[in-house]
Amino acid sequence: MQVFILLRRMFVQMSRNKLMLTIQLAHHIISGLSLGLCFYRIGNDASQILANFKFFIAIMVFYCYTYIMSPILLFPFEIELIKREYFNRWYSLKAYYTALTLSNIPIIVLFSVIFNVIIYIVTNQPLDARRFFYFNVICILTSLTSYGFGITIGSIFKPTAGACVGSTIGMYLILMCIHDMGYGDSVSTPVKVLLLTTFPRHSLAGV
């Protein structure tokens, strides 16, 4: 019951915060156009394999940094309100974080699909419905995972420190995403373990 009440409250808050939604929408559209123009019409060109690989890495960079940094910068401002309401026993933390996650899923999915449609068309990727569907699924899962990292960091650190920590983690994830690609069995076991825990690498392999 707590989850549904909190979920309803959060949807009302989001619907009233039109400025934030507009900024997020503009960010995804502008980023999609910019990234698409950087890799204009490379999708169906067999001579542009390396450019396509760079394009997919750029997508991972976008999703990692966008959805890690957003909650890091915004969530700490809600902490004081959460503390007050939680200590007054209005709801449990489990209910709050469940509602927070569920309330953001529709926005993340919608904006991710908008971004993906733009870059997919502008870069002239193969127009296959199944391929586009899986591309969207992988990107959405990447954004949701990144959002989880952002919420975790935002819950622990203040915005300034969180921005530094988030940027560092994002950089590590992207570097490990492409580290030792093409070396196969020559990669040491400890590095393989690190690579297995790096979700953008799996996303990159998927797209």
| Three-class SS of 123-191 | CCCCCCHHHHHHHHHHHHHHHHHHHHHHHHHHHHCCHHHHHHHHHHHHHHHHHHHHCCCCCHHHCCHHH
How do the domains of the chain map onto residue ranges?
2-206
Average pLDDT of the chain is: 88
Number of residues written out for the chain:
207
The pLDDT score that the predictor gives to residue 17 is 85
Q: Can you give the pTM of this predicted structure? A: 0.88
Does the pLDDT value for residue 48 go beyond 90? no
The pLDDT score that the predictor gives to residue 112 is 96
Residues 6+ apart with CB under 8 A from 157: 72, 76, 165
The pLDDT score that the predictor gives to residue 197 is 80
